[in-house]
Structure 1
Amino acid sequence: MLDPVLTVTLPSYYTASTGMDALLHSIEAYTALPYYARIRPDSPDKRPVYIGANPVSDLFVEKSIELIGKYLRRACHNPYDLEARSNMLLAAHLGGAFGNAGVHIPHSLAYPLAGRNHQLPHGISVCVTAKAALEFIIPTSASKLKKVAQLMGKNTDGLSDIEGAYLAKEAVVELMKDIDFPSGIEAVGFSEKDIEELSQAAMQVQRLLVCSPRPVKIENIREIYRKSLKNW
């Protein structure tokens, strides 16, 4: 049972963190390398836990993205808004479809951040690189990111897939601003001098990086961290 009354004492900071984590779970699962593009394992016992984006997980995470875009602001700014909290619980539940499809770049880059700043909530560590990570996958995921923009309330009428995909990135950033999210990795204790160490560590998270719709090299990771020093 998902009971919103149990969440009303959760501070706004952690409501924002967990809500954005659910959003990135859903966006990453939605844009993960499709199940039919994954390399076939040598035997059934070597099948990965994450199978890639698929028609079933897409249904769940589309609804999750829509609900978070509509209700996270309200849940953060009014803890007693039970409609908002009910829908955020549902969104987080539906976003659990990532456990089938997988997550990719933002989660991979989050682990080194949280591993070096133990006070950093998971959702914040995931989302501080989201803007640059989404921009990186636009060439391979434009149509799905355009749909993300629509689900988050952006008008994409008459736009190309590429143009719509950039609106998805904008929608995520606008949401982070509205819920007082840290503006980048500098805001959570990191600087240019940390990028190489972070990048080397993130590159080891191949369990997730193989789900990226666009192949990821260490120079790409360095650039995503560098662009994430300040998101606005």
Structure 2
Amino acid sequence: MPVPSLPALVDRAAGLVDRPGRVVLGITGPPGAGKSTLASLLLDSLRSHLGPDAVGHLPMDGFHLADVQLERLGRRDRKGAPDTFDVDGYAAALARLQDQRGRTLYVPGFERDLDQPIAAAIAIEPSVRLVVTEGNYLLLADSGWERVRRLLTEAWFVDVDPDVRRDRLVRRHEQFGKSPEAARAWVERVDEPNAGLVAATRDAADVVVPLDDL
């Protein structure tokens, strides 16, 4: 499809609710691509179009393993890799969106200042017809992540210039306490290998969104 404008994306997302049941829109892309930015823009517009009670948000970030578990597993030094998330919990939450539509679904959020998940920080009410979820690994085809794609009505991939993306990541790590040198080292050692995994899933998306063009 041609490069989509934000209004076109909002219209496409809103049109998903014409399908029966609850629909789930997945926003994916490599670290620093702008997934949360796009999700926020969509959520604001969709709540205006469909009503605030009809749209929910379920970010994958809440399913980070807590640092105490990463330490126990020896994975603290690569936090953000696919095996540093509770993929079973995430897939189960997505399944419950369909299986238990008449009940409020409580899911964890992620507190960036603490850099930790917070239990039951987000509530998806029964009135919600469309849920936006975003995360790096929604289209991975192994290690348990393959269950996620089947639970999404559509999946959109956010694309951005790699240099812009890396600069964003360095600034983000600095903002949360790393020195410039440590931030750059983390991006190269941890974020970039993860970005390569995610980039390989691009062709499995229903829509590719070049965020620079919005």
* TM-score after normalising by structure 1: 0.37
Higher relative contact order (CA 8 A, sep 6+): 2
Identify the structure with the greater helix proportion. 1
* TM-score after normalising by structure 2: 0.39
